[in-house]
């Protein structure tokens, strides 16, 4: 193979890409669609349910204040602390619930694996940035809110290449 021929072939291969659609995801306007409603865990079978590991969601009516999520996080990120809440639940005599510091959380989801009461799951919400460190600490009341999500873009593959949307 001659040198000039090789260079022309390389350029030709690059020029062909002018006809191929771009692959870039235009992020704030487009958001990728994920599988399911976030990572969940079934304590009976001991197997998780596939989904994105984003911000947590805490179901106050299930949480017993057993601290197993906090214990699971010890040695990993130490992001979960137990705090007092002004609520009275029959199953939660101590009235303590997890509070999560997203400045520390590594989103491994092992706290969800540790919860035996279907109380702590993860959601598809990954936009957690804030201007202050203290705003990253989510109280049990903030964790109970279901996130509003509009993610609908998927990878499409056709003759003109792969694209988002």
Partner 1 sequence: MTTQLPPGIQLEKIDDRIMTLNVGPQHPGSGHMRLIIKVDGDYIVSCDPDPGYVHRGEEKMAEYRNYIQNVPHLERPVIHDSSNILYPYCLAVEELLGIEVPERAKYVRVIAAELNRCIYTLYWLAIYGIFLGHSTMFMWPAGDRELFIDLLEAMSGARVTHAYLVPGGVRNDLPANFEERCLRQVDYFEKRLKEYQAVFYKNPILISRTEGTGILSRTDAIRLGTTGSVLRASGVNFDIRKKEPYDVYENLDFETVVMKEGDSYARSYVPYLEMFESCRIIRDAIRKMPKSGSVRTKLKPNPKGGNEEVYKRVESGRGALGYYVVSNNRPEPYRVKISVGSFRNLICMPYLLKGELLGNMPAVYWSLNYWPVEADR
Q: Give the footprint of partner 1 on this chain (CB under 8 A).
A: 1, 3, 6-7, 9-10, 12-14, 23-24, 32, 34-36, 38-39, 41, 45-53, 72, 74-77, 106-110, 113, 122, 155, 157, 162
Give the phi and the psi of residue 6 in degrees, each rounded to 5. -65, -40
Q: Which is nearer to partner 1, 49 or 141 (CB)?
A: 49
Backbone region of residue 142 per phi and psi (left: phi > 0; alpha: psi in -120 to 50; beta: other values): alpha
Q: Which is nearer to partner 1, 53 or 58 (CB)?
A: 53
Residue 141 C-beta: closest distance to partner 1, Å: 25
Sequence-ordered list of residues with C-beta below 8 angstroms from that of 116, at least 6 positions apart, any chain: 43, 66, 68
Residue 132 C-beta: closest distance to partner 1, Å: 25
CB 57 within 8 A of CB 38: yes
Structure tokens at 4: 């000039």
Q: Which is nearer to partner 1, 97 or 111 (CB)?
A: 111
Q: Which is nearer to partner 1, 12 or 132 (CB)?
A: 12
Sequence-ordered list of residues with C-beta below 8 angstroms from that of 91, at least 6 positions apart, any chain: 62, 63, 64, 117
Q: Which is nearer to partner 1, 17 or 84 (CB)?
A: 17
- Transcribe 106-149 into DSSP letters: ----HHHHH-SSS-EEE-S------SSSGGGEE-HHHHTSPPP-
SS3 label, residue 49: strand
């Amino acid at each position: 193979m001659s040198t000039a021929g090789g260079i022309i072939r390389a350029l030709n291969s690059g020029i062909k890409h002018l006809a191929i659609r771009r692959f870039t995801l235009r992020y704030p306007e487009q958001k990728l669609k994920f599988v399911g409603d976030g990572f969940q865990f079934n304590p009976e079978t001991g197997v998780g349910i596939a989904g994105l590991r984003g911000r947590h969601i805490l179901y106050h009516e299930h949480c017993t204040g057993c601290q197993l999520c906090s214990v699971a996080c010890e040695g990993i990120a130490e992001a979960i602390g137990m705090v007092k809440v002004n609520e009275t639940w029959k199953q939660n005599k101590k009235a303590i619930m997890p509070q999560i510091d997203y400045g520390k959380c590594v989103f491994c989801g092992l706290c969800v694996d540790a919860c035996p009461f279907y109380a702590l799951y993860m959601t598809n919400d990954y936009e957690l940035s804030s201007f202050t460190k203290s705003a990253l600490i989510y109280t049990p009341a903030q964790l109970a809110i279901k996130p509003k999500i509009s993610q609908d873009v998927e990878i499409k593959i056709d003759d003109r290449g792969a694209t988002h949307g």
